[in-house]
């Protein structure tokens, strides 16, 4: 038994010695290396693309176009999505483009038709999608020429010869207003309506100020000629105010600046002017006024002195050609109505127009407006001016009226 106890004690001693040496060895070893945490990557902000073309309100003269945006400079295999819609003109939109996975910073596209479009886009990448941009609206006007827009409006009775109503008609977006006027009750006018102002009011509209001497409202048609497919611009020039005494006539002109061409014109007043003449002078052939002038004569039918202006609409920025045509003078006997028509050649387009009355006292009623939505061979195709010669025309028995038209071509 003593031998077994000795052997057991010896084994315990050996185990203690081994354990002590292991602990000592661990105590003298270097510490384990420090493990550093893997860094969290900085998130990539997927920003909206910055568009450069077409810009908001742009007018393109070709159906072949290019959408463009600034380069996308972050990684993650970026590409873009573009959508485009075509306006129906009544507040509705039809999708015409839904293009995905576009790489680079431009995309060429041919729109299906002239009209007003809107487009937007967003970016897609390995990091996610950007927000979608807001809509940008642009217009495509690829076909050159003019066309007429008209609107029938009701003119309420005027309380006096100076009381008036403003009426306006607009061209579509992307086109230019190049002339306009009023047709009062049919082709030969309404004796109750007097035109006090007729002017281009902004890039794409024409405004008229009318007096109605009847006891009831009268319908008139306000028209504007619209030019499409041109990169040009129009600037309106107004004469200085001319004061005209009650019952007196007067005459004035507005001239386009050098480098521009007369495309239309008109007149405006405080409300008591009858305009007996309003016509273009392209070639320095009237009353000594320079070329590219719009001329007008007027009579103050009110009871107080009134101011009047003549307006010239001046075209620049596109190499268009302008020519002038005028009708023969149409004689209007007392108590009769007469109509004159100025007709542009078939290969040219009608722009602005006007009229000249021979016999100042005879002009009491006038319609002056484009009439180009009838067949070309119609006797009333072109710029139409009409007047009435009443019996009480200050002793002037026979008068005449001549129509003018400015014709446009490339």
Give the least confident one: 79-83, 175-179, 195-199.
195-199
Nearest to 410 by CA among 296, 282, 318: 318
- Going along the chain from its start, the domains and CATH numbers come out as 51-140 (2.60.40.10), 145-409 (2.60.120.690)
- Cα 68 to Cα 73: distance, rounded to the nearest angstrom: 15
Nearest to 294 by CA among 266, 321, 260, 329: 266
Per residue in 39-73, pLDDT (tens digit) is 655 555 677 889 999 999 887 877 888 999 999 88
* β-sheet bridge partners, residue 163: none
Burial 38-58 (b: 16+ CB within 10 A, else e): eeeeeeeebeebebeebeeee
Q: Which one is predicted more confidently, 118 or 302?
A: 118
- Cα 94 to Cα 107: distance, rounded to the nearest angstrom: 20
Q: What pLDDT is stored for residue 295 in this prediction?
A: 94
Q: Which one is predicted more confidently, 394 or 251?
A: 251
- Cα 193 to Cα 361: distance, rounded to the nearest angstrom: 17
Contact 292, 262 (CB under 8 A): yes
pLDDT surpasses 50 at 226: yes
pLDDT surpasses 80 at 184: no
Helical spans, DSSP H, in 73-215? none
Can you point out the beta strands (E) in 113-255? 115-125, 128-129, 136-140, 145-155, 165-170, 176-184, 193-202, 205-212, 218-228, 233-238, 242-244, 249-255
Contact 81, 125 (CB under 8 A): no
């Amino acid at each position: 038994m003593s031998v077994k106890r000795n052997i057991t004690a010896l084994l315990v001693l050996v185990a203690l010695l081994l354990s002590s040496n292991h602990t000592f060895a661990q105590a003298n070893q270097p510490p384990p290396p420090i493990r550093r945490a893997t860094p969290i990557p900085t998130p990539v902000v997927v920003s909206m693309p910055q568009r450069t073309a077409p810009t908001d309100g742009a007018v393109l003269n070709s159906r072949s176009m290019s959408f463009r945006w600034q380069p996308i400079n972050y990684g993650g295999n970026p590409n873009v999505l573009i959508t485009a819609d075509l306006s129906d003109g009544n507040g509705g939109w039809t999708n015409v483009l839904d293009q995905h996975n576009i790489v680079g910073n431009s995309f060429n596209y041919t729109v299906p038709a002239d009209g007003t479009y809107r487009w937007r886009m967003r970016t897609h990448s390995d990091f996610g999608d950007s927000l979608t941009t807001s809509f940008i609206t642009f217009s495509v006007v690829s076909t050159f020429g003019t066309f007429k827009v008209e609107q029938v409006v009701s003119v309420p009775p005027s309380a006096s010869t100076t009381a008036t109503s403003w009426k306006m008609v607009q061209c579509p977006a992307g086109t230019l207003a190049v002339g306009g006027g009023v047709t009062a009750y049919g082709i030969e006018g309404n004796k109750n309506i007097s035109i006090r102002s007729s002017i281009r009011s902004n890039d794409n509209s024409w405004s008229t100020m009318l007096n109605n001497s009847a006891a009831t409202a009268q319908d008139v048609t306000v028209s504007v000629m619209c030019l499409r497919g041109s990169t040009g611009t129009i600037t309106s020039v107004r004469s200085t105010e001319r004061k005209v005494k009650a019952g007196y006539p007067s005459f004035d002109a507005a001239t386009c600046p050098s480098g521009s061409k007369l495309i239309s014109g008109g007149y405006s007043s405080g409300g008591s002017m009858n305009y007996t003449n309003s016509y273009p002078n392209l070639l320095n052939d009237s009353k000594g006024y320079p070329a590219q002038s719009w001329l007008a004569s007027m009579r103050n039918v009110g009871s107080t002195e009134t101011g009047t202006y003549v307006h010239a609409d001046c075209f620049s920025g596109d190499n268009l050609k302008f020519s002038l045509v005028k009708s023969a003078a149409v004689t209007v006997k007392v108590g009769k109505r007469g109509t004159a028509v100025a007709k542009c050649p078939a290969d040219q387009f009608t722009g602005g127009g006007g009229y000249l009355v021979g016999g100042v006292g005879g002009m009491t009623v006038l319609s002056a407006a484009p009439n180009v939505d009838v067949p070309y061979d119609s006797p009333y195709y072109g710029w139409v001016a009409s007047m009435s010669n009443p019996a009480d025309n200050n002793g002037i028995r026979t008068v005449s009226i001549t129509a003018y038209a400015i014709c446009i071509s490339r």
